[in-house]
Amino acid sequence: MPSPLEEIIEQKIRDDGPMSIGAYMALALGHSAHGYYMKQDPFGRSKNYGGDFVTAPEVSQLFGEMIGVWAADLWMQMGRPERLALVECGPGRGTLMADLLRATSGVDGFHEAVHVHLVEMSPVLREKQREALGGYDVVWHEDFESVQDDAPLIVIGNEFLDALPFEQYIGGVQRTVDLRADGRLCFVPEDGEVVERAPVREGFVQQVCERIKAQGGAALFIDYGHMKSGVGDTFQAIKGHEYVDVLSHIGDADLTSHVDFEALQKGVDIGICGPVCQGDFLRALGIGLRTRTLMQKAEGKQALAIEKGLHRLVDSDQMGVLFKAVGFYHHDKPIAPAGF
């Protein structure tokens, strides 16, 4: 039985012809009724604990705390502006922002300055974010453009860029999603060396950088991907912590592609730091020291969990090397984002 979204996509192809991968991805993730993010909370710790995948803030509170250190340090370097627009794109369950705010509650004046903006398309996840951020004033937006705050900005996105639509090319021909004679979905062309481009993703980063150039501040994006542009097919679908076919389970599997961090920097005319590997970034921010402090106060099982979380975030065979961090900052001011 095809899912409702599969039927919608197939009908669209019958009506309008082959569909770009970007359009396919945008529907599979963001269709208002049946899109993957629109109808469910996809996060879960492991196969045994449900969900489809786990992200760094869900692995350990250390992650959001370190981003909090990064943001508060930057605010101080910026000369403690009275108002700061703290924007998170794709906040998931709101865990990162909750940990960030808790970790910075002792930074004199920071919470008074901060206005939190969340860019989130999913009504289900907005609800989770509302629960996680109970005590805080938060404003939600459909997209970054709708954030109408003219204060200096700190923009954060963890595993946001990988969810934005991208395109593939084989031999210079744009790859599309089409219907086979038997009515099943397929790629055209099917085989060959794949080159990926992500104009929506790069356009989004440029838009953020233009705002930073005009208003001051910085942005931090963390995601899985490669430092240098290359060739290869990185389109992937994850369901229940396993890779599945990208053309099946439509609306029930997460679809992403790896972020090309070299391409991301093109056309940006403000300061850039990194990209660096996530492990190096978190270590430079002091995750080791923070872990030791937490462990001193923790009991046996709890201490073990804290240590396990640290390893998952920084070890090179875990998230430490595949994930990269890149910063963009207003270079007219003498600020140096930490961690790079």
- Residues 27, 125, 147, 250: which binds ligand SAH (CB under 6 A)? 125
Report CA 126 to chain centroid distance, whole Å.
Answer: 15
Residue nearest to ligand SAH (CB): 90
Smallest distance from ligand SAH to CB 296, Å: 27
Given the complex with ligand SAH, which of 80 and 126 has the nearer CB atom? 126
| Window of 29-37, 177-185, 284-292, 311-319 that interacts with ligand SAH by CB under 6 A | 29-37
**CA torsion angle 32 34 39 43 (round to 10):** -120
120 binds ligand SAH (CB under 6 A): yes
- Listing DSSP states for 180-214 in one string gives -TTS-EEEES-SS-EEEE-HHHHHHHHHHHHHHHH
- Residues 122, 257, 278, 291: which binds ligand SAH (CB under 6 A)? 122
Lay out the site mask for ligand SAH across 131-170 (x = CB under 6 A, - = otherwise). ------------x--------------xxx--x-------
256 binds ligand SAH (CB under 6 A): no
Q: Binders of ligand SAH among 52-111, rule CB under 6 A?
A: 55-58, 90-92, 96
- Listing DSSP states for 80-102 in one string gives --S-EEEEEES-TTSHHHHHHHH
Smallest distance from ligand SAH to CB 65, Å: 14
Number of alpha helices (DSSP H) and beta strands (DSSP E) in the chain: 13, 17
CA dist 66 and 168 (Å) reads 35
Q: Could you tell me which residues come within 8 angstroms of residue 38 by beta carbon, excluding any fewer than 6 positions away?
A: 29, 30, 31, 32, 121, 122, 123, 124
223 binds ligand SAH (CB under 6 A): no
Helix, coil or strand: residue 63: helix
Residue type, 315: D
Interface residues with ligand SAH (CB under 6 A)? 29-30, 37, 55-58, 90-92, 96, 119-122, 125, 143, 158-160, 163
